[in-house]
Structure 1
Amino acid sequence: MRFFFFHLMPYAPLDPDYDKIHRSSWVTLPNDYYDPELGAELYNRYLDELEYAAELGFEGIGVNEHHQNAYGLMPCPNVFAGMLARRIPATAKIAILGRALPVLANPLSVAEEFAVLDNVTRGRIITGFVRGIGAEYHSLAVNPTESHARFHEAHDLIVQAWTKPGPFTFEGKYYHFPHVNLWPRVYQEPHPPIWIPSQGSRETIEFAAAPDRRYVYLQTAAPAATLFRTMQGYRDEALRQGYQSSPDQLGWSIKIYVAETDEAARREARPHIESFANKFLRMPQEMLLPPGYTSLASMKGLINSRKTITGGYRTMEQMLEQGTFICGSPQTVIELLAEYQRRGGFNLVMAGLHFGTLPHELTRKNLELFAREVMPALKGAVPGEVPRVAAA
């Protein structure tokens, strides 16, 4: 099992009563809720936590991209990766999970930025490409019905810029470049690893598992039952395409809290994981999944899955039962992660060890206990024979 520390950088001082007036912490929440003085303190604190995780021995640290919300203050993950690149140990990777390609006006700039980071870190960059959840299309005024086509075209442009000798011409439906001639070239050959975080759409799994890509598929924001189905879906798609996938092609992004005992862990985590689920993640369904964003078949599956994520008030007990949160003593967390790995067949864990309003001292404690007690017990763990479930 391989471990990364993932940070969302939420605006923790958010007025918890905002939802008495506003439907969502995304897109339409007035920005006068944001205090720049508090925000400046938060940014520096969160960067400290990411650097500390790298010092503790995580294989890497993860940042991501969201726009116009209190849930995650990272509209430009490449900037954060750049700030971290020279400050973390040379053994740690930086996973940018990921750039929302369809909402970008110029994907070639992403190719350039990643190439710079790849050179500065001497090949420690992991690139993540996503379509972005529906809220990003509302924020940046992009037609969601074009999401898939724009994603594939932007992906192809970036990969060609990394791998084809330049200059060459790129002519697509959405992007037109008479001169693609990347300076600098990427450091890693043939290009930095590409990971595909997703909520579990069928089209994304098929894209990631294609034999000419074999990208890491990272399941996000889903109950354990959905995790098992999507992991099976990836393995089945790989077999259909003529190869057997590796557990290193499969990962899980999951919120985790560790304390000395189960009782202490639940007591300390409760207000902060419930604030994450019920305040920061709050948005109406039409904002999350706007019409045309995905196929009808995938839409049905995502709506059913997301009912357990965004529908109604969610208690910590419900999240633990659904498998959207892991909480307990080191031994409890070890046993749960081992069982989820056995049933899911993944090797990569993107551990969300900060969430919601979790304060700095508890975040450091969580990081330390996880790195000292949990990671050493599971670093050699492999899935073995995975029990079959119905694929997504």
Structure 2
Amino acid sequence: MRFYHLLTGPAGPPPGRTDLGAGRDLLPAYVDEAVAAEALGFDGVCLGAHHLASHARVGDPNVLAAVVAARTTRIRIAVVGNALPLHDDPLLLARTLATLDLASAGRLDAGFVRGTWADLHSSRLDPTTVEERFWEGLDLIVRSWAEDRPFRWDGRHHYRPRVDAPVRPRQSPSPPVWLLTEAGRPTVAETGRRGHSLVVPTGPRSWVVDVCRRHRQAAAAAGRAPADVVTCVPVHLAEHDGTAHEQAREQYERLLRAAASTPPVPPPVPGGPGPDGTPWAGDRPGFPPPSYDDLVAQGHVLVGSPGTVRDRLYEHLRDTGAAVHVGGGGILGAMPTPLLRRSMTIFARRVVPRLRQLSRHRPAPISHGPAGPPTDKESTMPDISLDQALILLRAVVDHAGKIGAVVAAEVVDASGTTVAAQRMDGCFPSAGLLARKKAYGALNFRVPTHVAVEAFPEPVRTALLAAEPGLTFLPGGVPVLREGVVVGALGVTGGAGEQDVACCDAALEALADRS
């Protein structure tokens, strides 16, 4: 069991506000926080890398990681992560990370993400190519690290007649690759199949446990030993529960006030859909702000005395089977330095030692998939068949006709790949894209999209919608289950919300009648 500290630095100017001197003042404190984490015995530090996020105000994460490497000797350094679709030449990023791994004496964990909505907007990047660019860029980087001979790369987005990487990382064949779970994308299953580590952001406990289970199942179905799962649960500690909650509540409310004054980011395609798939009018998503109590009750943050945090974090680690925990402020934002250092010290000295001891004897995580390579049909990942997908689509069209709706529908399998799609005559042109987003949402959340919106507090929903163009919480997406296992999902759009949901229900009923 390994414990990483998420570097947030001291509290600075609110998001969206410019302070030209902030970077100069914040950078030393940011690096000092990493040095303190090593002195306290943490196994690693984690650096965020969203280009336009408020926590990026201290600069380039790869350069910061190099500074941290120069100031430390033992602690691992995770950069989570570089947004691959924003890099026109992934090989330049591969060289940077390989150099960083050499400079740190093999202490790098290389994390990759797709980028936030703000990143896509500022880069004018076509959102429909993000998925392809991400996986192709990752494959090119990993192969350039591992190959000992020149090779040709002829991809859809990158062409290189000769790839001969002059710099290779110290860790062989590559540093550990960490991929962040992103709603609306088949990241979980694909990461497991490729054998990479999965980073799961904070969320409701049941959702986090399910994501970890699916990652292991996908790895086992591909004949791989499951790679590490990294779970991120922000923590804040004080000597007493009441004191810790008072401090965390004040900081969280400060963060909400700052976020409320931040201008919204328009979509990357003028006139195109907003983050939730609906036409973007420039206004803020209409979700009510969550309460601090909701964050605590749903397990998004762990706040309290050493005993309280230890017990709750042990339950989390036991149920998820995570190999790495990333703590720190997270969704609570940057704490004032004295409170942050005090929390780090209490966690490192009075929580981590006991959890290390308990982790040596903890049982296997609940809902763990097959432990080894698949040996028969039962050990492979189930998927929805084409015949079943067509039954769903026919039922959708039949019910839409009965209720006077004109809809489009799409069925995806357990990996998020389209199985079948259909659009009724007269349905609006972009309906197919929105139907796919609804299916992806239901697939990733494992519940209907109109139910998923109740499971996440507003900051998490807003972050998901802003970061992931492929996701929507709009009603009309449902998972398709076989014997309690999600084998795919259906998305329907074109009618009113309740009509889309009714079409989904009718389709699932028709499929059940044919089973």
TM range (shorter): 0.7 to 0.9
**Is 2:180 aligned against 1:197?**
yes
**Paired AA for residue 230 in structure 1:** V
Instruction: Please state how far the C-alpha of 1:285 moved relative to its aligned partner.
Output: 9.6
CA positional deviation for 1:331: 0.5
* TM superposition shift of 1:178: 3.0
1:341 pairs with 2:317 = yes
Alignment partner of 1:209: what SS? helix
TM-score (norm 1): 0.83
Q: Tell me which of the two structures has the higher relative contact order, counting C-alpha pairs closer than 8 angstroms and 6 or more residues apart.
A: 1
Distance 2:315 2:211 in 1: 17
Mapping of 1:30-49 within 5 angstroms?
A: 33-49=17-33
* C-alpha distance in 1 between matches for 2:123 and 2:230: 29
Change (3 A) 1:114 1:310: farther
Choose which of 246, 269, 272 in structure 2 pairs with 1:267: 246
Task: Choose which of 344, 353, 362 in structure 2 pairs with 1:376.
Answer: 353
With the length of structure 2 as denominator, give the TM-score of the two structures: 0.64
Within 5 A, what are the aligned runs for 1:150-169? 150-169=133-152
AA in 2 matched with 1:226: W
Aligned residues: percent identity?
Answer: 29
Partner of 1:304: none
**Is the 1:2–1:348 Cα contact (8 Å) retained in structure 2?**
yes
Q: Give the structure 2 partner of residue 135 of structure 1.
A: 118
What runs of 5+ residues in structure 2 fail to find an aligned partner? 278-284, 369-445, 447-484, 487-515
**Contact 2:42-2:75 within 8 A present in 1 as well:** yes
* Mean CA deviation greater in 174-183 or 321-330: 174-183
The alignment of Structure 1 onto Structure 2 pairs a total of residues equal to 360
**Do the aligned partners of 1:205 and 1:233 also contact (CA within 8 Å) in 2?**
yes
C-alpha distance in structure 1 between counterparts of 2:286 and 2:11, whole Å = 19
The range that moved more, 188-197 or 347-356, is: 347-356
Residue 386 of structure 1 and its aligned partner are, at CA, apart by: 3.0
Residue 166 of structure 1 deviates from its aligned partner by: 4.1
8 Å Cα contact 1:217-1:250 kept in structure 2: yes
Q: 1:278–1:313: 8 Å Cα contact kept in structure 2?
A: no
Cα distance in 2 for partners of 1:191, 1:39 equals: 32
Equivalent position amino acid for 1:203 in 2 = P
Alignment equivalent of 1:351, drawn from 320, 327, 333: 327
Task: Give the partner amino acid of 2:4.
Answer: F
- Shift in Å, 1:324: 1.0
Question: CA offset at residue 69 of structure 1?
Answer: 3.5
Per-residue deviation, residues 122-157 of structure 1 (Å, max 9, x unmatched)? 211110111123232112221111111001111111
2:340 to 335, 345, 363: 363
**Kindly tell me: are residues 278 and 376 of structure 1, through their superposed partners in 2, closer, same or farther at Cα, counting changes over 3 Å?**
farther
Structure 1 residues 278, 182: CA separation in 2 closer, same or farther (over 3 Å shift)?
A: farther
Amino acid across the alignment from 1:266: H
The answer on 1:325 being equivalent to 2:301 is yes
- RMSD after superposition: 3.0
Unaligned runs of 5+ in 1: 15-24, 300-308
Specify which of 214, 230, 239 is matched with residue 233 of structure 1: 214
Contact 1:198 1:218 (8 Å CA) reproduced = yes
- Show the counterpart of 1:76: 60
Alignment check: 8 A CA contact 2:23 2:58 kept: no
Report Cα offsets for 1:242-262 as digits up to 9, x if no partner: 35536xx11211211010010
Paired with 2:334 and 2:139, the residues of 1 have a C-alpha distance of 39
